[in-house]
Amino acid sequence: MPFLSPENLLALLAEKFPSARLELVADTSPAAQHGILLDPAHAVTVATFLRDDPALRLDFCSNVTGLDWPDQEISVTEKIPQPDPAGGPDRIVEKKVKQLRPGFLEAVYHLYSVEKKSSAPVVLHLRTANRANATTVPSLTPVWRSCEFQEREIFDLFGIAFSGHPDLRRLLMWDSFADHPMRKDYVEPDDYEWEPTPHDTVLAKAQTHYPVTPPVPDKTSRGDAEHAEVKS
């Protein structure tokens, strides 16, 4: 059976899980790998269906990617009714207005079927409620074990907490590290005293933390100069 398009897969999932909130996520890049946004409450159930359904058998998650979407001002078109001076029906005037889109974090899963020898990925999206204090989504590691280290990396670098993960701890940064370096608003520290061989821009930042010491006179050069004066 050929794999369903994202639109048809979305229709299938909507039929199987009528209470789930599902949404098509368009990919505007040349790859055009459109995905499906899952609501956290049904994510594990839907993922298990995608893995176990005999017609789909999405048995392999090749990679999980983290994304950071800060607050963004966007333009939207509003349709505003205006009364007709002649007494006719209201006219509809379109107006561009600015709106603030609240930020969120996102985990993106690329799924394949080894059994069905699929070549194009099925893409799933999980989004947090915000970027501050509601950054938890369910882990899909219990469904696809290959997600384990990649969800840990996203937890470490983006700050998404995966509930139900079997071993959620930092992967690249040390345990006491307080931030998430892949966030778009991350500010790197300028204290590079731990860097054994600072260079270029790292050296310039590190030097601001070095103690200021007065220059030491070059005794050899001064002695040569005095010797030259006496000889003359």
Measured between its terminal Cα atoms, the distance across the chain in Å is: 101
SS3 125: strand
Say what angle helices 6-16 and 43-52 make with each other, to 10 degrees: 110
- pLDDT number for residue 2: 47
Smallest CA-to-CA distance from 136 within 159, 161, 154, 155 is with: 161
pLDDT at 232: 54
The reported pLDDT for the residue numbered 111 is 97
Residue 78 lies in a domain: no
Q: Give the per-residue pLDDT at 64.
A: 98
97 part of a folded domain:
no
Answer yes or no: do 152 and 118 share one domain.
Answer: yes
Q: Is 76 a member of any domain? A: no
Token look-up 């509930």 returns: 163
Ranges of residues in the chain with a pLDDT under 70 are: 1-3, 191-196, 198, 215, 217-232
Domain region containing 45:
6-70+103-184
Per-residue model confidence (pLDDT) at position 114 = 95
The verdict on residue 87 lying in a domain is no
Q: What is the pLDDT of residues 95-109, one digit of tens each?
A: 888 888 899 999 999
Q: pLDDT at position 194, please?
A: 58
66 part of a folded domain: yes
Beta carbons within 10 angstroms of residue 57's beta carbon: 17
Task: Report the DSSP pairing between strands 91-101 and 104-112.
Answer: unpaired
The string of pLDDT tens digits covering residues 17-62 is 999 999 999 998 888 899 999 999 999 999 999 999 999 999 999 9
pLDDT at 32: 87
Asked whether residue 132 is domain-assigned, the answer is yes
Contact 125, 38 (CB under 8 A): yes
Q: Are 114 and 132 in contact (CB under 8 A)?
A: no
CA dihedral 160, 163, 166, 170 (to 10 degrees): 20
Residues 135 and 201 in one domain: no
179 and 194 both lie in a single domain: no
Question: Is the same domain home to 160 and 46?
Answer: yes
Q: Which two tokens stand for residue 130?
A: 């915000």
